[in-house]
């Protein structure tokens, strides 16, 4: 977790530094649903619990440079806790950092194609607190590296305000707590473009 925090901090620093040179900056908030396998496979070594289901609020931002290429980052988390194996509360959090290509499709639309890496952080909540030198928490995290590809279609409804239907696909490494190594997230976001031409 410490390594991922350092990577996230470095990404944020680079994001802020390069934003000054960017041609366009986009920020969005939305809601989505996550689907994932829900059946047990003794051959695959995965558990019977699905990571899918529920509503996932999402936050995303990107910086675009020449030729509509840039960097993008996002986080999506389950709004309410779910029950793992019908007894332990848990919440999955997906975050990823991507390269993005967002070519315009006329004056009011733009496509988004992205790909990158990130992590699934599953927080398993407990009835007691665990304390360390950084503070106290009531959960234990299980983190798994993931690959990510995503697609979106931005439609500008008013000046720089856009609505974006989107689809995201995750390929999760060693996701043994859950029923499979894949998940898909479908949703819609509303956002704002700074520096729109």
Containing H/E element for 40? none
pLDDT in tens, 32-77: 999 987 765 554 555 577 788 889 999 999 999 988 999 999 999 9
Using DSSP's 3-state secondary structure scheme, residue 6 falls into: helix
Alpha-carbon span 72 to 23, nearest angstrom? 14
Containing H/E element for 82? strand 82-84
Q: Give the range of the structural domain holding residue 95, as residue numbers without chain letter.
A: 2-194
User: For the domain that residue 82 is a member of, what is the CATH number?
Assistant: 2.40.160.20
Kindly report whether the global pTM for this prediction surpasses the value 0.75: yes
Lowest mean per-residue pLDDT among 36-45, 92-101, 102-111, 144-153: 36-45
The mean of the pLDDT values for the chain is 85
Predicted local distance difference test score (pLDDT) of residue 67: 87
Mention every residue, 6+ apart, whose C-beta is less than 8 A from residue 96.
73, 74, 116, 117, 118, 119, 146, 148, 170
**How many domains does one find in the chain?**
1
Report CA 80 to chain centroid distance, whole Å. Answer: 16
Query: Confidence class of residue 137 from pLDDT cuts 50, 70 and 90?
Result: confident
Reply yes or no on whether the pLDDT at 114 is more than 60: yes
Average of per-residue pLDDT across 1-12: 57
Tokens, residue 27: 């920020």
pLDDT in tens, 169-193: 999 998 878 878 899 999 999 999 9
Average of per-residue pLDDT across 156-169: 96
């Amino acid at each position: 977790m410490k390594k991922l925090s350092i990577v996230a901090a470095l990404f944020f620093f680079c994001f802020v530094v390069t934003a000054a040179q960017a041609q366009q900056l986009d920020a969005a908030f939305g809601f989505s649903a996550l689907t994932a396998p829900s059946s047990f496979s003794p051959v695959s070594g995965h558990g019977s619990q699905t990571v899918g289901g529920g509503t996932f609020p999402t936050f995303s931002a990107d910086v675009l440079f020449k030729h509509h290429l840039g960097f993008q980052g996002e986080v999506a988390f389950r709004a309410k806790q779910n029950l793992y194996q019908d007894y332990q509360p848990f919440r999955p959090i997906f975050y990823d950092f991507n390269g993005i290509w967002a070519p315009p499709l006329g004056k009011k639309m733009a496509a988004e194609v992205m790909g990158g890496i990130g992590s699934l952080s599953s927080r398993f909540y407990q009835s007691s607190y665990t304390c360390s030198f950084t503070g106290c928490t009531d959960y234990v995290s299980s983190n798994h590296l993931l690959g990510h590809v995503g697609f979106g279609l931005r439609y500008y409804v008013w000046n720089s305000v856009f609505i974006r239907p989107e689809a995201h696909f995750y390929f999760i490494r060693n996701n043994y707590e859950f029923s499979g190594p894949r998940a898909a997230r479908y949703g819609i976001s509303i956002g704002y473009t700074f520096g729109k031409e």
